[in-house]
Structure 1
C-alpha cells in the first residue's frame, strides 16, 4: 500500500512538472545574422566557416578577428527542425562561444547534451580559422 501511494505521488509530481514546462515559440531563434564586413571596425575581418552537417542539421559559424585575436563568433546556421533543437542551441552556443573566446582556437570541449551540435560548431569554427590563415 505504501509503495502504491509513493508511486501515485511521484507520478502526479512528474505530471505537474511536465505540464508546467514552458517552451519557447519557434519564432525565437539564437541564430545571429551575419554582419557585413563593411560594418566592421578598421582592423577587424569576418571569416565564414564551412557548413558542418550534423545528424540534426547544419551548423555554420563566422568568426570576427582583429589581427590574430578572435573577438566575436556569430552562429549563422544551427539545427532548428524541432523546438528541442532550438533549446539545445540556446544552451550550447553561448558556452561554445565563451570557450572559443577564452581558448582563441577551435580546441574546445563539447557541451554535454549537445555533442552533435558542438561537433558541428567546432568543425565549422576550425574551417573558418583555416580559411583566415
Structure 2
C-alpha cells in the first residue's frame, strides 16, 4: 500500500504487510500496553511521582512511535531528521495509528472512515460538554 508523507518525501512510501512488519507492529503495541500498565501503577503515587511517570510515558510513546514508523517506512537518516523537525505530535499519533491499521489489513477508505468517525465523536463530546456547562451556569 502507498502512504503519502509530503513533509518527508515527495514520492509515496510503500507499506508492505510483510510478516516482519506485522511483528514490528505487534511488538510496538505490546510495548505501549506494558508502558501503560506502569503509568497506571503510578496513579496512587505522589504528585511528583505521577508527573514524572506521565513525562516518561509521553517520552516513551513519542520515541517508540517514531522508531516504529521509521522502521516500517524504511526512513534514512536524513528523512528521520526531517521527520523529527516537520511532523507534529498529532500527525505522529495519526500516522502510527494509520500504519497499525494498514498492517492489520484495513484499506485507506476504512481508515479514513474510522478517523472521520473519531473526529465526529470527539466534536460531539465537546459540544455536549459545552451544552452541559452552559446549562449549569444558567441555573
Q: Specify if TM > 0.5.
A: no
TM bucket normalised to smaller: under 0.3
After TM superposition, the score normalised by the length of structure 2 is 0.27
> Is the radius of gyration larger for structure 1 or structure 2?
1
After TM superposition, the score normalised by the length of structure 1 is 0.28
Bigger helix share: 2
